[in-house]
Structure 1
């Protein structure tokens, strides 16, 4: 897959490149998932033992056209370093809504990575799937950092959602209307 999205450089941070995951990303992916904070907010951490299967599922999801997971890398002068993941999920043909998700590696938090990646992914989603009317960003109520990411990405708080397994706490739903981007 040759798709590549970009988030521009800011005065305080390098540009970002979002692209499908590759074999050479897996060690950095496993390293990111060793972070206890990331493990708290994710359902399925990736380990050395299952990284190959994870990549196969991720590629199958792209082929199925319902889930699109991007590696987010800083676009440095000498190299690209994995800093996050951004994902578009629950895409259905002619469906009015889909969901975005993300995580940020511990070493990249606090630098505006997540809002820039979510914004780039959201624009791409509305361009690729013209039937989409809105995107939702969901998170547990006790994750104020995700509220800030949603707001910085243009997503508007909509409602509190009741806890639903496997999530033990109530959640927030933030939405971005296609009309606000197109």
Structure 2
């Protein structure tokens, strides 16, 4: 797949590249999911290589079906590009007015504005790719303060508190970004 997006460098951060996940990313997925903070906030945690392969297979299958577009986020590094995050566009339809954005950031890459820059890049791509799209939503559980900050830094306005729904036991926030 030849889709590649860019998120500009923000001093002192480096430029980011977003591209579809591939089978060669297995070790990066398993390494990222070793983080207990990441595991707390995700519905499908990865504990080993077999689960990592299933995660990558699902990402490819969902991309091919048009249900979810999941991107690996890479940061330039002196030793070569390194995967630092994941962003995903969920449930878009060719003429549908809304879709959802999700993401995670690897533990070693947090605190450097990676998630907001990747979400902004993905959001721009989504509005360009799906002309009927008028709004993107970013959802998170109320006690996930870091996700609330990412939503705000990415230009997503707080809209409402949502009641709990499985697998998340607490209320949630819905933040939205309207099409430009």
TM-score normalized with structure 2 length: 0.96
The separation in 1 between residues aligned to 2:154 and 2:61, in whole angstroms, is 28
* Deviations, residues 30-75 of structure 1 (Å, cap 9, x unaligned): 0100100000000101231222222221111111112000000102
Contact 1:18 1:72 in 2 (8 A): yes
The separation in 1 between residues aligned to 2:55 and 2:41, in whole angstroms, is 18
Root-mean-square deviation over aligned CA pairs: 0.9
Q: Secondary structure at the match of 2:40?
A: helix
* Deviations, residues 6-47 of structure 1 (Å, cap 9, x unaligned): 001111101100000012211011010010000000010123
Contact 1:15 1:76 in 2 (8 A): no
Contact 2:93 2:130 in 1 (8 A): no
Contact 1:85 1:103 in 2 (8 A): yes
The range that moved more, 51-60 or 14-23, is 51-60
Q: Secondary structure at the match of 1:49?
A: helix
TM-score normalized with structure 1 length: 0.95
Contact 1:83 1:107 in 2 (8 A): yes
* Deviations, residues 50-106 of structure 1 (Å, cap 9, x unaligned): 222222211111111120000001023440011000000011231110000000000
The 5-angstrom pairing of residues 1-182 of structure 1 reads: 1-46=1-46, 47-179=48-180
The range that moved more, 81-90 or 53-62, is 53-62
Tell me, which stretches of 5 or more residues in structure 2 are unaligned?
Answer: none
The range that moved more, 88-97 or 115-124, is 88-97
The separation in 2 between residues aligned to 1:109 and 1:148, in whole angstroms, is 12
Tell me, which stretches of 5 or more residues in structure 1 are unaligned?
Answer: none
The separation in 2 between residues aligned to 1:145 and 1:94, in whole angstroms, is 32
Per the TM alignment, residue 133 of structure 1 is displaced from its structure 2 partner at its CA by: 0.5
Q: Secondary structure at the match of 1:94?
A: coil
* Number of positions where the alignment pairs a residue of Structure 1 with one of Structure 2: 179
The separation in 2 between residues aligned to 1:16 and 1:119, in whole angstroms, is 11
